[in-house]
Structure 1
């Protein structure tokens, strides 16, 4: 197999309206199996209205048994009104091709009205038996940036038997007006027998801004379809500063699950603001009743007044001291959303509050005026269980 050389490129865009596309392996051969070089590309953008695109390998289709190199790609943006997209390998992947294990840094945190996107492997789709690399992506968002998109593998779809890599994404939205969409695998849908990787996603928000926001998706920012399988992902939201105004939406797998798709076993860690947390998905469209299965997920809202949906299967809800006034929307009811009559055994973990036993905890549970059980953990913390009466709760529902 042919191996391409390891190259280093330095690019500067310091004039108004400059446009540059940089390739780590320009002219990547597509007629034979090739391994891309381990390239380093550093681009500095100081001009206004610039457009920068970086490919770790080339603007081509990776096919056969070809492999992308293990590249280091850095976009340092200091201008304004700029656009940057950084792709770890190529435009698309098919057959048995593999993405490299790339390191991507896309920093626009000091600019205004700048849009950045970073994809670990391809700008578009992965199909066939393509395999994403294990990529490390770091990004920071500009003030009033546009649609800032980050994905561990694909900027488009994943389909057939393609498989996402085990990626790490760390994105900061520290401006007063900014947002980021962060997906462990793809921005588009996972289809066919596509399988998400086991990814680790972290978004840090400006705690002092109610319009600083992030949306985290363990596998797809769109949907899991057909027989697609979500990975076992970890999603974490952090808040910077002393305030807790910002909040996030977190999906262990995708906003929508369709057909016979399967959720992964995910861990969701909320921040100090108000988070909306879905262990699997928000919308379910099963092919037949019960054909969609959820993962065994763990949701911890952190501080703030959060809303949580575990989804199908038996999930864990964890509450530590200072957890705020939270709501579990589907306690022991997640399977109903996919048309399944299987019995769930969700568990509420309140070990952090130090209750002596069930007798001590049960005295703090009562129904509100709507008939929903409320667990009064402390003077400032509570858990409301939508659709569940206090008399329906038992010691086996808790980890004390």
Structure 2
């Protein structure tokens, strides 16, 4: 194996309209057994209308058994009308290539009209048996930030038998009129036999802005297809502000699942805003009835009035005091979305409310005018079970 040296680069973009691409290992050899250096790149943007691109290794394809280095990449962006792309390793990975364990910081919190993207391993696709590194990505978005994309592994798709790393992403959208798509593995689809890693995603939103929001996806911002498998991910939304107007969408795996895809066992933690939470996906296109398998997910909406779907399989819905007026849209009905007739047993955890027993709780359950069961937890908190009658509920449906 050829090992490249460890390099340090400090770059400043201080000219109007400056375009700069920085690579930690410029001229990365087009060979099959190369290990990138453990490089440090620090780029400071101090002017307007600039374009910054950083690669931890180089703008190329890692192939064979090549490996990316364990790089530290920092983009400190100010001003406005700029753009930034930070990539932990390279443009693409194929064969048995592996990404490094990279640390990425993309800070654009004080900017205007500055879209930011950060990907842990590649800007494009991972294919073959490529494997992503275990990356740590921290990002922040400025006012009217446009399209901001963050992924633990690939800015494109993951196909064949590629495998995502176990990544940590922490993205702040503390702005009026801004948003971000945050994915544990890929922005594009997972296809073939690709597998997502076990990722931890956290997004902090400006609660004072109803047009500030984020979409978190445990594995793909697009779709899980074919025989792909989602990882066991943790998704968390936090609110920073006096109000709770921000909106988030959370997918334990991906917005769409098709074929024989399998979801991971995910944990979704909502914030004080309006959360739309899907344990697995929003839409399902099974190859045959029941061919898609959902994970055993845990959904906690936090405060705010939330909409929740556990998806196929047995899921747990957790409610703490101050949870707001929430709706579970598929209680014990998630398997129907994939054409499965198998019974499922979802659970509702209301331990935090201190009910003494089922008798005490059952007195607070009644049907609304639509015939849906409503659990009146307190004067300000309730759970509506869409399509479920109060008479069909039993003690075994709850953790009290």
**TM-score under structure 2 normalisation?**
1.00
- How far residue 324 of structure 1 moved from its aligned partner, in angstroms, is 0.2
2:66 maps to what in 1? 66
Counterpart position of 1:94: 94
**Paired residue for 2:82?**
82
Q: CA deviation at 1:62?
A: 0.4
Q: 1:269, 1:301 within 8 Å by CA — same for their partners in 2?
A: yes
Once the two structures are TM-superposed, the CA of residue 146 in structure 1 deviates from its matched residue by 1.3
Contact 1:212/1:246, CA 8 A, preserved across alignment: yes
Give per-residue Cα distances to partners, 1:225-265, cap 9 Å, x unaligned: 00000000000000002211112000000000000000000
Secondary structure of the residue that 1:181 maps to in structure 2? strand
- Give the deviation of 1:222 after TM superposition: 0.3
Q: Unpaired segments of 5 or more residues in structure 2? A: none
In the alignment, what sits opposite 1:178? 178
1:245 has 2:245 as partner: yes
Identify the residue that residue 279 of structure 1 maps to in structure 2.
279
Alignment of 1:184-333 (within 5 A): 184-333=184-333
TM-score normalised according to structure 1 size: 1.00
TM superposition shift of 1:179: 0.4
| Distance in 1 of aligned mates of 2:52 and 2:79 | 12
Shift of 1:142: 1.1
Can you list the C-alpha shifts for 1:201-232, whole angstroms capped at 9, x where unaligned?
00000011111100000000000000000000
- The residue number in structure 2 matching 1:364 is 364
The CA distance in 2 between the partners of 1:397 and 1:199, in whole Å, is 30
Structure 2: distance between partners of 1:109 and 1:32: 39
CA RMSD of aligned residues (A): 0.5
SS in 2 for 1:91: strand
- CA shift at 1:305, angstroms? 0.3
Counterparts of 1:27 and 1:309, CA distance in 2: 48
Map 1:156-175 to 2 at 5 A: 156-175=156-175
- The Cα shift of 1:167 comes to 0.2
Matched, 1:49 2:55: no
The aligned counterpart of 1:21 is 21
1:241-298 CA deviation, whole Å, 9 max, x = no partner?
A: 2211112000000000000000000000000011000000000000000000000000
For residues 98 and 116 of structure 2, what CA distance do their matches in structure 1 show?
24
Aligned length: 400
- Equivalent position of 1:344 in the other structure: 344
Higher alpha-carbon deviation: 150-159 or 237-246: 237-246
Q: Is the 8 A contact 1:247 1:271 kept in 2?
A: no
